[in-house]
Amino acid sequence: MLREMLRIRRFEERCVELYSAGDIRGFVHLCIGEEAVSVGVHQALAPEDAVVTTYREHGHALARGVPAEAVFAEMLGRVTGCSRGRGGSMHLFDVSRRFYGGHGIVAGGLPVAAGLALADRMRGLERVTCCLFGDGAVAEGEFHETANLAALWDLPLLLVCENNLYAMGTALSREHAQTDLAARAASYGMAAWEADGMDVLAVEQAARRAARAVRDGAGPHFLELRTYRFRAHSMYDPDRYRDKAEVERWKQRDPITLLATRMRGEDGMDDADLEALEREVAAELDAALEQARQGAAEPVEDLLRYVRTPPEGTS
C-alpha cells in the first residue's frame, strides 16, 4: 500500500510537470493528499466489482489496475489512452476492469452506480458497486435520489464520500447545515459511519467491513472518509479560500508519511527501503510516460467516430 500511494503521488507530480509544459490540456484535478482513500478502498474490492468515480480519479484508476501508460496516454490525448484520448484527465474509463469513469458532473456518477448495482442484483451476481464522490455531491439531488432508491431496493452499493472539506472553494460548513455526512446517509436507513481518510489502514479496514456486508446482502453502505487535498481544486484554481496554516496542519498528516513512519516502527523499514521504493516507482513511471509519448494522436478522419449525427433535414 505504501508503494501504491507513492506511485499515485509521483504520477500526479509528473502530471503537474506535463501540464506546466503544455503537454496536457484542459482541466486537471489532483488527489495529492488523498492517496489513502484510493489505495485503502480498492484493497476491499474484487476484480468483478464495479467502480464509479468523480473527475478527481487518477488515483482510483491506478489503484484499480489501469496501467500507468494508458492513463498517461489519455492525459496526453493519445489514441492509446484508456479512453482513446477523448476523455482526458476527467474521464478515465476501462471496461475490462469495470472502471466506469471519471464523471465531470458533480454527483453524476451516483445514478450510474445505482444502475450497475441494480443490474448485478437482478442477475443474482454477488458483486459490489463502489461509487466514490466528494462532499459537494451530498448537496446534490442525485445523491438523495440514489441513496433513497438504493435503500428502498436493497442494492449492493457501497457509497464512499471523499470528504476533503471543500466543494471547489466552498467550505463544508457553508454548504451543509448538517456536517455529519454519515448521519445524513443513515437517515435513508443504510449503515453509515466515518473513518480517518488520511490513514490507509483505517480506510482499508472500514472499506473491507462495508464491502463484505454489501456482498453478503446487507444492502447499501455509506463511508465518510475525512481527507484533504494538498493542492488546489484544479490546476486553474488560485486556492485563495483556504488558510495556508490549515493546509500545513493537514500536511502534517500526509498519508504516505504516516504509513512510512508506522512501518519504520513496526516493520523495521529504513531509509534504504524507502529509497528503493522511490527508485522502483520512478523507473516504472519513466517507462510508462515514454511508452505513452509514442502513442499516435487520433487521425482527423476518425474525429466524428462515436459521434451520433442527426439525419439529413433535421437540426
**pLDDT digits over 263-302, tens only?**
998 888 999 999 999 999 999 999 999 999 999 998 888 8
pLDDT at residue 298 in the model = 86
Residue 179: pLDDT above 80?
yes
Residue 132: pLDDT above 70?
yes
pLDDT at residue 75 in the model = 96
pLDDT at residue 267 in the model = 82
Residue 241: pLDDT above 80?
yes
Hey, what domains does the chain have and what are their CATH numbers? 2-294 (3.40.50.970)
pLDDT band at 306 (very low <50, low <70, confident <90, very high): confident
pLDDT at residue 131 in the model = 98
Mean pLDDT of all residues in the chain? 96
Span 23-79, pLDDT tens digits:
999 999 999 999 999 999 999 999 999 999 999 999 999 999 999 999 999 999 999
pLDDT at residue 9 in the model = 98
Write down the pTM of the prediction: 0.94
pLDDT at residue 152 in the model = 97
pLDDT band at 315 (very low <50, low <70, confident <90, very high): low
Amino acid at 81: G
pLDDT band at 304 (very low <50, low <70, confident <90, very high): confident
Distances in whole angstroms, Cα of residue 125 to Cα of each of 53, 120, 131, 156: 21, 5, 18, 10
